[in-house]
Amino acid sequence: MKDLFDLPVSQATVIKAGQMGANLLKPSVEDIGQAVVKAEVAHADERPGAAKTLHWLHVLATETLT
């Protein structure tokens, strides 16, 4: 908002938007997770986190689901 319209956005607004998005996506994420678990073949992968950290994101995927 600041970059596009020169309007300030509070940190609380950004956090709330992230929480709302997570709540909206939760059912879909759970459905995808169950489908991957039931898949005949799944690929496991890991991605590094933010630069200069030791955090990793572990992912399971199929040809059509991630």
Per-residue pLDDT tens over the stretch 25-47: 999 999 999 999 999 999 999 88
For residue 23 the two structure tokens come to: 């709540």
Domain ranges of the chain: 2-61
User: pTM for the complete prediction?
Assistant: 0.67
Q: What is the pLDDT of residue 57?
A: 85
Q: State the average pLDDT for the chain.
A: 90
Q: What is the pLDDT of residue 2?
A: 79
Q: Is 41 helix (H, G, I), strand (E, B) or coil?
A: coil
Residue 11: band (very low, low, confident or very high) from pLDDT cuts 50, 70, 90: very high
For residue 13 the two structure tokens come to: 């607004």
At 30, which amino acid appears?
E
Q: Is the pLDDT of residue 55 over 80?
A: yes
d(CA 1, CA 9): 7
